[in-house]
Structure 1
Amino acid sequence: MEMILFLYILVFPCIRADARVHDSVIQRECKHTDLCPSYRENTAVTGLTDTKCNLFSGKWVHDVSYPLYDAADCPYINSQINCRPNGRPDSDYEKWKWQPDGCTIPRFNSNDMLEMLRGKRLLFVGDCISRGQFESMVCLLQAVIPSNKKVLVNGTSLITFKALDYNASVEFFWAPFLVQLETNKQGKTILDLDSIEKNGIYWKGADIMVFESSHWWDHTGGMDGQTWDMIIEGNKTFYNMDHMVAYRKALTSWKKWANSHIDFKKTMLFFRTMTPRHSSCLNVREPEKNTSADNPPLPPQVPILKKVLRRTNFPVVLLDVTGMTQLRKDAHPSKYDSPHPSGNGDCSHWCLPGVADIWNELLYSFVG
């Protein structure tokens, strides 16, 4: 029987695992012993139900040794999330680390991570939030690479950072829906829920994959508008399909692609949950102590994603960052999303350095 492993990056216990391959996978993922789970079989679902540490149950702790890099030394940050050069006067939002209850996350070590990536591809797939995580990873790594030993290659949908001495690449592929979004001869934008192969061509062969798809499914009107004119599924065309129904179907197509095209003996697969939009974030200077009525409710994308992943027949690690980022209203660009600040601004994306660096510390602890 194929292994079924659903990890909430030790946020939640492992839900399913086949005993024959269980040990080798967990040993690969648990170099840092304080993050390794304890095991027992659940009579309802074969798998793990206990862990020593719930990585996403915790708090933000002020730490003056952060950030892990200086934005001024990293030329790869998109201007929209490069907040201090855009005029943001405070810097405390950069100086918070995540402290889980009962354990400690290993501090990111750039040289160590580069050695883990030697001869490998690390691929991020998703929207602008995923691009922020990609840029964070590039900033973390490039600081220890000589200028003549690194290169950034920009393509139409694919951006690739290469660490030449390590024969390693960190890549970002723009696919906010994962499935294809195309324009027909009549100029109509079509979301094809069954079509993922054109995107998947660029994903094949990556050694570490981090997927995300969430924010663009919320575009239903108003300022954002709707991204597509019609949806195709099979030989049927829809003009008013519920967005969350379409989201579930797109995830199912992604699941089928992953099952058919990923060699799980070689590749580690991650999926990150949605980060919240806050209604206002201007002049917020520190994290919330706990989830309050002012924070947005759990996005519907999160339970849909978890339900789809529970039904996979392959190993996937869920980076469940939703709760921890709900507390970080202070870490958005707000009006400092451009060199000409105005209004309340952006309460959706995340400043760099900042929250995305912590996601990569979590990723680092799993890859090790």
Structure 2
Amino acid sequence: MMTLLKTYNHNDKQHQFSLPKRNFVTYAVYALIAVALLYLFVDPAAPPAAGSGATAASSTTTTKPSSSLPPSPYYEASSPIISTSSAAAPLCDYSDGEWVPDARPPLYDGTTCGAIKDDGRSCTANGRADTGYVHWRWQPRACDLPDFSADAFLRWLRNRHVAFVGDSLARNQAESLVCLLSSRSPSPPDLAHRSADGRFRRWVFRDDSGGNATVSVFWSPFLLKGVEKSERDGVRYNQVFLDAFDERWMSELHGIDAAVLSAGHWFRIPSVYHRGGRVVGCHGCDDYAAEFNRTVAESTSSFFSVFRDAVRRTLAEAARRHRHQSSSGAGGKKPQLVAFTTFSPSHFEGHWNEGAPCKKKADRELGYTETEMRKIVVEAVEEAASTMSSSNDSAQPLRFAALDVTALANMRPDGHPGPYMRKNPFAAAGNNTGDHRPVQHDCLHWCMPGPVDTFNQILLQTILLRAR
């Protein structure tokens, strides 16, 4: 400081400009304080923050789990960077991040939620003793994912209808949402409808002022019209009709405000494909080629191409019916959002039906199949969103979004039910009587509470963004 003052006074004499020494010291101190504050509070290298609440204060820097939490075999795995199309995704890229410790209890009790009372996702009720898998939350790298707010979701859903359409993972996500909403609903939801096999269900939350919020599940593993194989009945192949829609849910689209689609795993099962009233190909039927004529056997189709066609045609048909309803002035609701949950990897270590346990270590990289299935959904959603945004024939445009959960799901092999898909699994397998039959493990679906709740955490932010 003295050197600075001497230099300054020397310059004063040269330029015939004088400044009182006391004032100069004061100004210098003020300048240093300003520089210090600027350094402390402005970090040009820091990523912009988004969101609020408890997660807003969290750092995106990797933090080792505390000693009070069980060690996680997946925590050290680095997530592949996946960018979602800006035309079909929230402003925050929730697909790229890491799981970080969270000691808070889950929002609901899996042993008391009525939506999963009789299902294989209530892992604690079925005897799973370890609970470390519930004490993790997803932290995106470039922003924050706000905590799930049942109050906010119920406010948006008041007098609205959200439907989950697709396979058993769609059902898993629907049950998660019902349990999450039940944590804040003034009264338990009414199970307004349940099919005999449980694949079609509808819950209604009612409030004191007469409003209602509806959550439905529609079983449609191919999204298109299809008939599932049945080993019990000797039917070894799915029958998929590529030019026909599944009207069991598509005909209800006019009464749905948000449709959340989830499909993919059933397309990997041996299937026969139909179009125009004739068989046009098959997948996984090489060992049974004698059952088909040579032309069909040699035109074996890639399930990737069939899945891509099914996703694109489904989204295009949803947009077409939305435009038709708008232009015709037909009554009823018009869907506001069609969201597609991307492929959720399984973690079987061996064959799923031979007692294969779930992997104890997370995959550091997605496999080719998972990568392609995810890519198909993201690109199809982007295409549908672009097509809709370029059309001006609807006063209430239909929004499309991809719930990109593939990477975050890939890192959570501990979140599956494993053997706890039924009560007392080891006793049921006869292991206590010396009959050591393999215990079947579920390494596809998700425990509740568990990682699947994060799917709905992202869904809420997607809905709120589209609503704005």
Task: Please state which band the TM-score falls in when normalised by the shorter chain.
Answer: 0.7 to 0.9
Residue 402 of structure 2: SS of its match in structure 1?
strand
Q: Which runs of 5+ in 1 are unaligned?
A: 1-32, 36-45, 220-225
1:169 to 193, 214, 224: 214
Distance 1:158 1:52, change over 3 A: closer
Query: Of the candidates 110, 117, 134, which is equivalent to residue 94 of structure 1?
Result: 134
Segment of structure 1 superposing worse, 244-253 or 260-269: 260-269
Taking a change above 3 Å as real, the CA distance of residues 296 and 336 of structure 1, as seen in their structure-2 partners, is farther
Structure 2 alignment gaps of length 5 or more: 1-48, 52-84, 229-233, 283-300, 327-333, 350-355, 389-398, 427-438
Distance 1:132 1:52, change over 3 A: closer
Q: In 1, Cα distance between the equivalents of 2:407 and 2:86? A: 24
Give the aligned partner of residue 303 of structure 1.
Answer: 375
Assess if the C-alpha contact under 8 Å between 1:277 and 1:296 holds in 2: no
Give the conservation status (yes or no) of the 8 Å contact 2:90–2:462: no
Name the count of aligned residue pairs.
Answer: 314
Q: How does 1:227-238 map to 2 (within 5 A)?
A: 228=271, 230-238=272-280
Q: Deviations over 1:128-185 (max 9, x none)?
A: 11111000000011223344663442136521110122322011111010001148xx
Question: Aligned in 2, Cα 1:253/1:112: closer, same or farther, shift over 3 Å?
Answer: same
In the TM superposition, 1:276-287 aligns within 5 A as: 276-280=345-349, 282=357
* Corresponding position: 1:332 with 2:416: yes
1:203 equivalent in structure 2? 253
Q: CA RMSD in A?
A: 3.1
Taking structure 1 as reference, are residues 47 and 273 closer, same or farther at Cα in structure 2, changes over 3 Å only? closer
Which residue is 1:257 aligned to? 317
Q: How does 1:49-60 map onto structure 2 within 5 Å?
A: 53-60=92-99
* 8 Å CA contact retained: 1:34, 1:52: no
Q: CA deviation at 1:113?
A: 1.2
Contact 2:253 2:335 in 1 (8 A): no
1:245 to 298, 305, 322: 305
- 1:190 partner SS: strand
**TM-score of the superposition, structure 2-length normalised?**
0.61
Gap change, CA 1:47 and 1:104, over 3 Å in 2? closer
- Give SS of 1:204's match: helix
Q: Which has the higher contact order (CA 8 A, sep 6+)?
A: 1
Q: How many Å separate the matches in 2 of 1:50 and 1:309?
A: 9
Which of 225, 244, 248 is matched with 1:180 structurally? 225
Instruction: Judge which range, 103-112 or 297-306, deviates more.
Output: 297-306
For residues 207-243 of structure 1, what are the alpha-carbon distances to aligned partners after superposition, in whole Å with 9 as ceiling and x for unaligned? 1111111111111xxxxxx3x4x32122431342322
Q: Normalized per residue, which structure has more strand?
A: 1
* Aligned-residue offset at 1:275: 0.5
Which entry has the higher C-alpha Rg, 1 or 2?
Answer: 2
Preserved CA contact (<8 Å) 2:202 2:215: yes
TM-score w.r.t. structure 1 length? 0.76
Given that residues 85 and 339 in structure 1 are in contact (C-alpha distance below 8 angstroms), is that contact kept between their aligned partners in structure 2? yes
1:345 CA drift (Å): 0.8
The 1:50/1:357 distance shift into structure 2, 3 A limit, reads closer
